[in-house]
Amino acid sequence: MEFILSETWLRQLVSLLVRFTEAGAAIVIFAGGAIGFFRFVYSSLIIRRPEAFSEIRLDLGRFLALGLEFQLASDLLRTAVAPSFEEIGKLASVAAIRTALNYFLSREIKAEREEVTRTQAAKVAQADGTSR
């Protein structure tokens, strides 16, 4: 029973969980980048619709924000088992940087969302005006 609850075993388990969480972050960020890239190519080269760029940036921003959240989760896990003051200091600085990135990314997402909503409302208003 002592083996299961030992600090060494717990550190190994947390280390494995950190790797999974970091892999999840990498997958989310990569998937968002790949999807954004293909949507960009499709919008710009095939259908030639530049107004779609705001929507693409909005979706990409959501993927990046989610990836940053996974990264922050992995940092928290890393210091879950008997952290030293040095590890806590590193976590605090990394968490502050990632939180700031996420804050500014969220502001960008909000601004993009408002722009997309305004653009869509303008199209609806224009369509209503031309259909009368």
Q: Give me the mean pLDDT over the 67-86 stretch.
A: 84
- The pLDDT confidence band at residue 3, using thresholds 50, 70 and 90, is low
Q: Give me the mean pLDDT over the 38-59 stretch.
A: 83
Q: Looking at the predicted structure, is the pLDDT value of residue 55 above 80?
A: yes
N- to C-terminal Cα separation, the chain? 78
Q: What pLDDT, on a 0 to 100 scale, did the predictor assign at position 7?
A: 78
**Residue 27 or 81, more confident:** 27
Q: Which residues have a Cβ under 8 Å from the Cβ of 95 and sit 6 or more positions away?
A: 72, 75, 76
CA dihedral 93, 99, 105, 110 (to 10 degrees): -160
- The pLDDT confidence band at residue 28, using thresholds 50, 70 and 90, is very high
CA–CA separation, 75 and 91 (whole Å): 6
pLDDT tens column, 112-129: 888 888 888 888 888 877
